Amino acid sequence: MTKTAAIHSIVAISCLVICSKCNPVIAPLKGKYSDSSFQITTSKSSDTIWVKLTDIFVTHGLRVERIDKEKGAIRTVKAPINSLFTFEDQSGHLEQPEAWVVLPKAFNKRKEWKPGDIFGVWTVHVVGSEKGITTVKIDPTVICTYYPNAFTTMEHRGQSTGKLEELFVTSLTN
């Protein structure tokens, strides 16, 4: 075997070993979480709703990227939410009950991968009707990136626990 062939063999075997060690198992979530947008209907005017939504975002550190009142849309800046997430325990209960987002656990050979970056974007649509009813549709997108080693990254979508939605319901309907 030539030196070049030996080097190629070593590189190929190393790649196979690295790839086999980086193949994760994602533990499915046991709890019931919404994977679609959330909708609130209120008798408050759309102008009142706009003020309350802006206050919610400012109060909770969610910077607004775009507001388009004509289209009834607000979109937050892609922001880290590392302190607002949780995992489930073995029974399927949230480890941190007040967290906004639940993430599935990722394992490889029984070693748990810890998430590195967790980013969220909230898109909100506000639609007022002629009958004085305002509908608010909230669509959260949360992406978690795991970095188990220097060679591997894996993205996975988190799901809303309903706590942010409760905050919206309380603020927008009272």
Domain assignment present for 71: yes
Domain assignment present for 72: yes
Domain assignment present for 18: no
Length of the chain (residues): 174
pLDDT per residue as tens digits for the range 15-45:
444 545 556 777 888 888 876 678 888 888 8
Domain assignment present for 14: no
pLDDT per residue as tens digits for the range 112-148:
777 878 888 888 899 887 788 889 898 888 888 877 6
Q: Which two tokens stand for residue 142?
A: 């949360």
For 138, the domain range is 25-173
Longest Cα–Cα distance in the chain? 83
User: In the structure, what pLDDT confidence band is assigned to residue 5 with cuts at 50, 70 and 90?
Assistant: low
Closest by CA to 101, choosing from 158, 141, 154, is: 158
CA distance 64 to 76: 4
* Mean pLDDT calculated for residue range 55-82: 83
Domain assignment present for 4: no
Q: How many domains are there within the chain?
A: 1
